[in-house]
Amino acid sequence: MSIKTVVICGPTASGKTALSVMLAKSAGGEIVSADSMQIYKGMDIGTAKVTPDEMQGVPHHMIDIVSPTENYSTGRYVAEAAEVIADVHGRGKIPFIVGGTGMYIDNLVDGTRFGAPAADEAVREKFTALFDEKGGETMLTELAKFDEITANRLHPNDKKRIVRAFEVYEMTGKPISVWDSESKLIKSPYEAVYIGLKTQDREVLYNRINERVDEMFDLGLVGEVEKLLKDGVPTDCTAMQAIGYKEVVTALSGECSLDEARDAIKQNSRRYAKRQLTWFRRNQRINWFDTDVTDIDEIYNICQKLAGFAK
């Protein structure tokens, strides 16, 4: 029997938190975050992490679960979030998957199982050094000799995934594209209703993003980054490459002013929102709502009916 879930997705600053809490409260549900940066402890302001007040008593999961120094993969997210969903469902609650990280949502809801082996640091270092020596174009040419499918979909600058493809083949003798295709043969355990939030006028969304960034600075984003650095979080780790953090680090190192960092965060956030929309629009299952032309209460009422728990 499939587990009924509700997915609420969309770009940053589109209103996902408010709607998800409203719906989860009315349905007796719990929220499973699908945000690749809100998983990190101590990174609250720059990730616009949901606050206790905003939660309104609704349990939230997959937030504050790892140190910023840890590497966290999509495969690990899918495995851990699936356990949470099973627990929520087992207690008679409806799991709400909420966030803007499309890769997390797609792989979780589609039931992807990551069978490829975990990283081997020695093998990874070997191919990282090879990439640095030969470059992305040459590495893709070599990759195509045993995994043409993966080579054709990767960009020469995608060092991480190119190295991973060589690593998996070296360790298993099987291309990573084969591992991926085998994982997709597994039937999804979820019956998902998709709700997407966006704005009809892109400038409305961009203005919301700009206002959110200003609010982050008012709330103490710079101090948050300073504390992370003081606690020994490396500037080159994945967490510190997040939008909002890398720009402030640049300012603190003297390479630009804080005002320039603020402007860069706004610009990079707008670009990220555009990429998020591009990703989600490929998913034909999403029921879209424009939050700049439809009142949140009306969206709430329609979504209740869509999800099948209207009173």
Amino acid identity of residue 157, one-letter, is N
Tell me the whole-structure pTM to 2 decimals. 0.81
At residue 110, the pLDDT reads: 87
Instruction: Please provide the DSSP assignment of 149-215 as one string.
Output: HHHHHS-TT-HHHHHHHHHHHHHHSS-HHHHHHHHTTSPPSEEEEEEEEE-SSHHHHHHHHHHHHHH
Residues 223 and 293 in one domain: yes
Q: What residue has token string 């990280």?
A: 101
Which residues are bridge partners to 197 per DSSP? 289
For residue 15, pLDDT over 80 is answered with: yes
Residues 213 and 104 in one domain: yes
Residues 150 and 290 in one domain: no
**pLDDT per residue over 64-79, tens digit each?**
999 999 988 888 899 9
Instruction: Quote the number of domains for the chain.
Output: 2
Helix 202-219 crosses helix 258-280 at what angle (to 10 degrees)?
140
Structure tokens at 274: 């555009």
Show the domain range for 159.
121-183
| pLDDT band at residue 180 using 50, 70 and 90 as cut-offs | confident
| pLDDT band at residue 231 using 50, 70 and 90 as cut-offs | very high
Residues 100 and 37 in one domain: yes
Residues 149 and 109 in one domain: no
Residues 236 and 190 in one domain: yes
Output the domain CATH number for residue 12.
Answer: 3.40.50.300
What is the pairing mode between strands 190-198 and 286-290? parallel
Domain boundary among 163, 183, 203: 183
Residues 90 and 230 in one domain: yes
Residues 69 and 218 in one domain: yes
Domain boundary among 160, 183, 206: 183
**pLDDT per residue over 275-299, tens digit each?**
999 999 999 999 999 999 999 999 9
At residue 100, the pLDDT reads: 96
Contact 114, 164 (CB under 8 A): no
* Chain mean pLDDT for the chain: 93
Domain boundary among 183, 214, 231: 183
Residues 126 and 106 in one domain: no
At residue 82, the pLDDT reads: 94
Cα dihedral 176, 177, 180, 185 sign: negative
Output the domain CATH number for residue 176.
Answer: 1.10.20.140
Which residues are bridge partners to 194 per DSSP? 7, 286
Residues 29 and 106 in one domain: yes
Residues 156 and 23 in one domain: no
At residue 311, the pLDDT reads: 59
